[in-house]
């Protein structure tokens, strides 16, 4: 059975049953059945499914691991977590997260005015809010308003000018004040593709000299009692634990030093995010080399040690993990529209009475291919095809000959794969798969739904939703429906993606793209004006599952309006142009106008081909 590396990236969230991938919770519904329900209700195109129980699982596991570690080490400091909104601000995620995090007092982290206002509206009462990132006076003002509303909010200072603005504003405003955090610029560098967030050359944070200056400024302006937290963030998807340990040692010592200087209300160390997710389907490409348990134990152990060494109190621990919380909850599911080789059916051969010799030979190869010569014949056929293409360019063979050669080569490839499929020695099969790939055209936009694949070469697990009890034989490259050649997930010889040879005209075939819940949605681009796909939350229970909060992909009119087109103008122009046409009569005009309205009010993904 082919499991597409599920044991590496699946985190026991899925099981395979009767050849289908199923949710490993409650009634264990198959993803393909959930998709069919939605499609029967008329939702076509790609679908983004959210699973609240997977958000809950991640929240539980982070709080649970730290609770366990604190108990094990007798740690006296507290533990708090906030969810960084930038990772996914969509209501379908955030509202579920806030609801599920309530019993933990799970808070929110904001990095901009918009995110802060969102946090102020949705955050659970008394749960912490932290604010990071560059701040102007307005943003700081909003932070003060949050404190005045009763929110438990900490503004993290990224530079001295922000502190000066806080001092100024605090003189102007009412009594309740936000807590103040200082982001420290660590000597230890960040890691991974996102390394720029940590380290001495990082974009953010105060150097030791600036920390002393900040301390003095706070003291002079009677704000020292607001100073409660130091913060650092090493970057996202930290793949090794070692840099975090180094950073903790550094931050732990900064914490005790500042307290020694008189920062009596400094109680917390905020480690930022960075807890990694295992995205890899392949053992040799693993993207995380530690467990959550290790992470929690190391954090607690190191901070406890420093406090002991310096005879100080153990700090409260804050974490801002986002990717770890959000990634698993969303799955993009998209139908395969076409297999490139499908157009090369035997019935399309137009053999002549007298064919060029190479074509006759290709036909013989096709007729006489068998397991022992399959690889050799495939090579011969590719050579023949290349010769035919050259002859065509020189004018020696015609378009029918060329078409015949292309069809025969495809047929030989398919037959070779079929003949070798169940042979115990897979080397020949693998060699063929490495040489000729099948292109799967899939109804989604890579730019919209997996922008980090395009921008950062971040891989996401991919697998078909069914046929998992059948051996996949085609080495696949995946093409999205944008008109951009970058919209491709190409085949890798080292870590091949093998998919099934299906006839899309006879049966549907869906691919799941997993772990797309963090960062992908809001970073998604509307290249070619493909929008966020239709989404739904799936609540799985013992009795079955329920689909909630279905939001259909934006219509074409909506997206044009987002681009600041005047949609009434667009409609008027289309209307006028149809009215002015002399090619159709009045009745026909009415008909095509009606059709256009329908298209404009629908989303832009592909719908045809019986899917
Ligand atoms: C982005 C960010 C996070 C979240 O990082 P993840 O890798 O998603 O956990 C946390 N804190 C800060 C300050 C950030 O900028």
- Give residue-wise pLDDT tens across range 389-433: 999 999 999 999 999 999 999 999 999 999 999 887 788 899 999
- Say what the pLDDT of residue 271 is: 96
Specify the length of the chain in residues: 611
pLDDT band at 150 (very low <50, low <70, confident <90, very high): very high
User: To test ligand 1's pocket by mutation, which of 58, 59, 80, 87 has the most ligand atoms within 8 angstroms of CB?
Assistant: 87
- Say what the pLDDT of residue 187 is: 83
From the CA of 192, how far away is ligand 1's center (Å)? Answer: 13
Look up the pTM and report it: 0.94
Distance of alpha carbon 92 from alpha carbon 537, whole angstroms: 7
Percent of the chain with pLDDT over 70: 97
Percent of the chain with pLDDT over 90: 91
User: To test ligand 1's pocket by mutation, which of 84, 130, 522 has the most ligand atoms within 8 angstroms of CB?
Assistant: 84
Q: What is the mean pLDDT of the chain?
A: 94
From the CA of 29, how far away is ligand 1's center (Å)? Answer: 33
- Say what the pLDDT of residue 534 is: 97
Asked if 196 contacts 202 with a C-beta cutoff of 8 angstroms, the reply is yes
Dihedral sign, CA of 156, 159, 162, 168? positive
Where are any strands of DSSP class E within 257-328? 268-270, 316-319
Residue that is written with structure tokens 């930290």 in the block: 238
- Say what the pLDDT of residue 298 is: 97
Is the pLDDT score of 193 beyond 60?
A: no
User: For 374-386, what is each residue's pLDDT tens digit?
Assistant: 999 999 999 999 9
User: For 527-574, what is each residue's pLDDT tens digit?
Assistant: 999 999 999 999 999 999 999 999 999 999 999 999 999 999 999 999
Other C-beta atoms lying within 10 Å of the C-beta of residue 556: 18
- Say what the pLDDT of residue 199 is: 62
pLDDT band at 342 (very low <50, low <70, confident <90, very high): confident
From the CA of 273, how far away is ligand 1's center (Å)? Answer: 4
pLDDT band at 607 (very low <50, low <70, confident <90, very high): confident
From the CA of 120, how far away is ligand 1's center (Å)? Answer: 19
From the CA of 328, how far away is ligand 1's center (Å)? Answer: 16
- Say what the pLDDT of residue 241 is: 94
pLDDT band at 189 (very low <50, low <70, confident <90, very high): low
User: In this structure, what token pair is assigned to residue 434?
Assistant: 């490495």
Dihedral sign, CA of 199, 205, 210, 216? negative
Residues 6+ apart with CB under 8 A from 473: 417, 418, 421, 429, 433, 498, 500, 501
Residues 6+ apart with CB under 8 A from 311: none
The more confident residue out of 61 and 1 is: 61
**Residue 514 half-sphere exposure, CB side, CA atoms within 13 Å?**
24
Is the pLDDT score of 140 beyond 80?
A: yes
User: In this structure, what token pair is assigned to residue 243?
Assistant: 């840099």
User: For 206-218, what is each residue's pLDDT tens digit?
Assistant: 999 999 999 999 9
Is the pLDDT score of 609 beyond 80?
A: no
């Amino acid at each position: 059975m082919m499991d597409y590396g599920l044991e590496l990236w699946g985190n026991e969230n899925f099981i395979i049953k009767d050849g289908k991938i199923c949710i490993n919770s409650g009634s264990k519904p198959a993803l393909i059945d959930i998709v069919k329900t939605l499609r029967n209700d008329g939702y076509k195109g790609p679908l983004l499914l959210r699973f609240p129980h997977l958000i809950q699982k991640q929240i539980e596991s982070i709080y649970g691991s730290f609770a366990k570690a604190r108990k094990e080490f007798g740690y006296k400091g507290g533990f708090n977590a906030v969810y960084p909104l930038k990772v996914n601000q969509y209501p379908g995620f955030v509202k579920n997260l806030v609801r599920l995090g309530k019993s933990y007092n799970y808070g929110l982290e904001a990095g901009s005015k918009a995110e802060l206002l969102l946090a102020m509206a949705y955050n659970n009462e008394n749960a912490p809010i932290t604010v990071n990132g560059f701040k102007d006076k307005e943003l700081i003002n909003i932070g003060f308003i949050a404190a005045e509303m009763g929110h438990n909010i900490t503004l993290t200072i990224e530079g001295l000018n922000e502190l000066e603005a806080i001092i100024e504003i605090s003189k102007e405003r009412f009594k309740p004040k936000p807590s103040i955090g200082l982001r420290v610029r660590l000597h230890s560098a960040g890691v991974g593709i996102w390394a720029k967030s940590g380290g001495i050359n990082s974009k953010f944070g105060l150097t030791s000299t600036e920390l002393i200056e900040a301390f003095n400024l706070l003291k002079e302006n009677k704000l020292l009692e607001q100073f409660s937290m130091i913060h650092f963030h090493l970057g996202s998807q930290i793949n090794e634990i070692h840099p975090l340990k180094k950073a903790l040692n550094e931050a732990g010592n900064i914490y005790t030093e500042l307290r020694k200087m008189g920062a009596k209300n400094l109680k917390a160390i905020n480690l930022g995010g960075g807890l990694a997710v295992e995205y890899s389907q392949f053992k040799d490409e693993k993207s995380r080399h530690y467990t959550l348990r290790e992470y929690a134990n190391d954090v607690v152990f190191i901070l406890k040690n420093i406090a002991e060494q310096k005879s100080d109190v153990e700090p409260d621990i804050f974490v801002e993990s986002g990717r770890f919380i959000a990634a698993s909850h969303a799955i993009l599911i998209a139908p395969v529209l076409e297999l490139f080789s499908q157009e090369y059916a035997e019935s399309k051969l137009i053999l002549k009475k007298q064919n060029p010799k190479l074509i006759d030979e290709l036909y013989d190869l096709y007729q006489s291919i068998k397991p022992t010569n399959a690889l050799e014949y495939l090579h011969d056929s590719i050579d023949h095809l290349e010769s035919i293409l050259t002859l065509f360019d020189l004018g020696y063979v015609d378009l029918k000959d060329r078409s015949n050669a292309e069809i025969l080569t495809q047929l030989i490839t398919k037959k070779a794969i079929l003949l070798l499929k169940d042979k115990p020695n897979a080397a020949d099969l693998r060699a063929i798969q490495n040489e000729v790939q099948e292109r799967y055209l899939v109804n989604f936009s890579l730019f919209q739904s997996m922008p980090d694949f395009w921008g950062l070469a971040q891989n996401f697990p991919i697998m078909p939703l069914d046929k998992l009890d059948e051996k996949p034989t085609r080495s696949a490259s995946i093409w999205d429906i944008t008109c951009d050649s970058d919209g491709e997930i190409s085949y890798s010889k080292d870590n091949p993606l093998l998919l099934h040879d299906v006839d899309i005209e006879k049966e549907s075939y869906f691919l799941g793209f997993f772990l797309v819940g963090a960062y992908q949605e809001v970073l998604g681009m509307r290249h070619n004006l493909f929008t966020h796909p239709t989404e739904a939350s799936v609540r799985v229970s013992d009795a079955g599952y329920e689909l909630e909060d279905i939001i259909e992909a934006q219509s074409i009119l909506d997206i044009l309006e987002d681009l600041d087109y005047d949609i009434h103008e667009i409609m008027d122009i289309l209307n006028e142009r149809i009215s002015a046409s002399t090619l159709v009569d009045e009745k026909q005009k009415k008909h095509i106008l009606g059709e256009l309205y329908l298209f404009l009010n629908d989303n832009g993904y592909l719908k045809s081909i019986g899917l």
